[in-house]
Amino acid sequence: MFELLFTSFPVIIRYFQLKRRGEAMTVWNMRTAVFTWAGLAFLLFFLIFYFHPKSYSGVVPFRTVSVVAQSAGPVTELNVRNGQRVAAGDLLFRIENSSQVAALMQAEAQLGTLAAASIKAEDSLKVARASVAQIQATLDEQIIDLSDAQTLLDRNVGSQDAVQKLDAAVKVSQAQLQAAQAQVHLAETDIAETIPAQIKSAEAAIASAQASLDKTEVRSFSPGLVTQLTLGVGSPASTLILSPAMMIIPDRPEGLPVRFVAGFSQVARATLYEGMPAEIACDSNANFSFRNSALPARVAFIQPAISTGQVMPGGKLLDPNNLKERGSLLVYFELEYPEHEKEVIDGAGCIIQTYTNNLSGTSGHVIAATGVIKAVGLRLKLWGALISGVGLAGGGGH
């Protein structure tokens, strides 16, 4: 509409010329003015729509966190409600945990048994060492007695039977000493290796049992707002990601700027550039005072790939004929002034109008000036959305 009005001056001038001359206005004497008007309108349309592309698909993207249980069972305690804010680590709900508690108690009892076994092994080591010392003393005495008996026998004073009995006693004591030393070694092995390994195994069993018990307590991993809570005390907790117990809309990390995304026609790739100025008008920001209704922004990033060309392995070969619908060019925008971020609602639908201002020379200034028409049109669109009450409806990028 504005383009037609701004380029209609040849027709208006010709009309007043004919009126001043007193001639009737006909198709023949208006042909030059009409063709001039059509040419100027086409040129202006081209300049405006090519160098100042617009998208109706703008949106403020945000993340959601699906909350599912890691352990199956009925819910015994529910600690949140819809619309409640939670912090990281807050308890959301508990699941019936009698089997997990029993497993933990059993593992702890096993560790206690091993602690007692360690004390017993220490006592066994002391007894075994004392036995070794006692047998060694007896053996030393028997060796001396055997030596004396052998000396007497050599002097034809002693008897052969006494020597044989003492020799047999020495051999028995030596065997007993070896057995006692083996008991010492066995006790030392139990204390140094066997029991510590068993204790580590028991501690691992306790950690595993504690982890299983912890899974019966579902906590929030990020601060945010609870929504779509479908859980109640007594209902079974779902472990399927496709059937979450609730959703959490996490708070935006501090220092992370709000970004808008929009899809533009692929032919706009030659015009769009990073740093390009833009205006963003969202349904959620429209108001009668027009305060913060059209927010200044800039292009932050242009995705270097079109989503419809994505190829993933599957059971069928890719057929390009199935991709007749052209994908859009994904563009990210950031607000020019950070204080406007608090005015934006996550998920809001927006119209995004861009303006080319990077061309030099007179033609560049003229093209940049034509952006005023698009800016006026954007505000008329806002006004119409308020009057009609249907929002910033539209379709397609231009």
Residues 298 and 375 in one domain: yes
Is residue 69 domain-resident? yes
Q: Which two tokens stand for residue 162?
A: 């006494």
Looking at per-residue pLDDT, the higher value among 28 and 300 belongs to 300
Q: Say if 317 falls within a structural domain.
A: no
Same domain, 279 and 338: yes
* Helix segments in the chain, DSSP class H: 2-6, 9-21, 27-51, 98-154, 160-189, 195-214, 361-369, 371-388
CATH no. for residue 262?
A: 2.40.30.170
44 three-state secondary structure: helix
**Mean pLDDT over each residue of the chain, to the nearest integer:** 85
Domains contained in the chain, number: 4
Residue 104 counted as domain residue: yes
pLDDT of 295 reads 94
Strands 349-354 and 54-59: antiparallel
Distances (CA, A) of 31 to 6, 10, 36, 76, 264: 19, 11, 8, 84, 37
Residue with the bigger pLDDT between 177 and 11: it is 177
Question: 69 and 192 share a domain?
Answer: no
In a domain, 312, yes or no: no
In a domain, 318, yes or no: no
pLDDT of residue 86: 96
Residue 397 belongs to some domain of the structure: yes
Q: How many helices (H) and strands (E) does the chain have?
A: 8, 14
Please check whether residues 4 and 130 belong to one and the same domain. Answer: no
Instruction: Report the predicted TM-score, pTM, of the whole model to 2 decimal places.
Output: 0.70
Give me 15's structure tokens: 């009309």
Q: Does 258 share its domain with 396?
A: yes
Residue 122: how many CB atoms within 10 A of its CB?
13
27 in the same domain as 78:
no
* Token couple for 170: 């020495």
User: What's the rounded mean pLDDT across residues 236-250?
Assistant: 89
How high is the pLDDT of residue 60? 93
- Structure confidence at residue 8 (pLDDT): 64
Judge whether residue 396 has pLDDT over 50: no
CATH of the domain at 73: 2.40.50.100
- The answer on 240 and 162 residing in a single domain is no
- Three-class secondary structure of residue 281 per DSSP: strand
Residue 285 has pLDDT above 90, yes or no: no
Mean pLDDT of 181-202: 86
pLDDT of residue 367: 87
pLDDT tens figures, 34-92: 777 677 777 777 888 889 999 999 999 999 999 999 888 899 999 999 999 999 999 99
Judgement on whether residues 280 and 383 belong to the same structural domain of the protein:
yes
Domain interval for residue 233: 65-95+219-250
What's at 146, amino acid-wise?
L
Q: What percent of the chain has pLDDT over 70?
A: 93
Go through the chain and tell me how many residues it has. Answer: 398
Answer yes or no: do 270 and 333 share one domain.
yes
pLDDT tens digits along 118-169: 888 888 888 888 988 988 888 888 888 778 777 877 777 667 777 788 788 8
Question: What integer is the mean pLDDT of 19-23?
Answer: 74
What pLDDT, on a 0 to 100 scale, did the predictor assign at position 146?
76
Is residue 231 within 8 Å of residue 328, measured between CB atoms? no
Say yes or no: 88 and 55 in one domain. no
- My answer on whether 129 and 11 are in the same domain is no
Domain-embedded: residue 115 = yes
Tell me: pLDDT of 9 over 60. Answer: no
Q: According to the model, what pLDDT value does residue 1 have?
A: 53
Same domain, 226 and 271: no
10 has a pLDDT exceeding 80: no
Tokens describing residue 311 = 């190829």
Identify the burial level of 246 via C-beta atoms within 10 angstroms of its C-beta, where 0-12 means exposed, 13-18 middle and 19 or more buried: buried
- Across residues 2-17, what is the average pLDDT? 62
Whole-number pLDDT of residue 27:
64
pLDDT, residue 398, reads 42
Lowest mean pLDDT among 60-74, 180-194, 249-263: 180-194
180 pLDDT tier (thresholds 50, 70, 90): confident
| Residue 153 falls inside a structural domain | yes
Q: What is the pLDDT of residues 340-377, one digit of tens each?
A: 998 899 999 999 999 999 988 888 888 888 888 889 88
Distance CA 349, CA 58 (A): 6
d(CA 389, CA 171) in angstroms, rounded, equals 111
Please report the pLDDT score of residue 397 as a whole number.
Answer: 42
